[in-house]
Amino acid sequence: MRKLRNEELGRKSVEEFRREKKIPLVVVLDNIRSMNNIGSIFRTADAFLVEKLILCGITATPPHRDIHKTALGATDSVVWEYYEDIAAVIKLYRDVGYFVAAIEQAEESIMLQDFLPKPDQKLVIIFGHEIRGVQQKVVDLCDAAIEVPQFGTKHSLNISVCAGIVIWDLYKKLNRMH
């Protein structure tokens, strides 16, 4: 087995990426402190053709050196917007037919492996603060909570790791339907 060289990977240009059909998934980062986490999630959004990233609250926005360090250019390819008020974001997307889910451990949460989007369903998923998670007032506005099952002692994942798991899982499910 031979490791592939960068020129063999078939990477798209930013223009080709922008023209590529995206999955109907909007990822919201609400009050994320770490710019390294933000940059990592930009890269994940690029990798799995996420429709858009929404940055809210204290979440830093590009351009910033610490975001760029982990995003490695994905801030140029992924469409993103900033909103101060996450409630306005939820209303905006719900009004145009999106199903809104917090990624959170909550009563009646749906385990990620059990969450099956309906055909042609468009999704918004919300990730919250690294320590406090998605605010309760935001969970209250959501249609559901989706939980990543965990089996160790911590029951907590780094947000960029959690986002990678969730976005990959939803990419597979949504890509099959669209």
pTM: 0.95
Q: How many residues does this entry show for the chain? A: 178
pLDDT tens column, 53-68: 999 999 999 999 999 9
How far is 30 from 43, CA to CA, in rounded Å? Answer: 17
What pLDDT score does 175 carry? 85
Is 30 part of any domain? yes
User: What residues make up the domain containing 95?
Assistant: 22-177
Is 111 part of any domain? yes
Q: State the DSSP H helix or E strand holding residue 57, giving kind and residue range, or none if neither.
A: none
The domain that holds 121 is classified in CATH as 3.40.1280.10
pLDDT tens column, 67-98: 999 999 999 999 999 999 999 999 999 999 99
Is 10 part of any domain? no
Is 17 part of any domain? no
What pLDDT score does 178 carry? 53
Q: What is the DSSP letter of 13?
A: P
Is 97 part of any domain? yes
Sheet holding 50-56, edge to edge: 80-83, 50-56, 23-30, 122-127, 98-103, 144-147, 110-111
Number of domains in the chain: 1
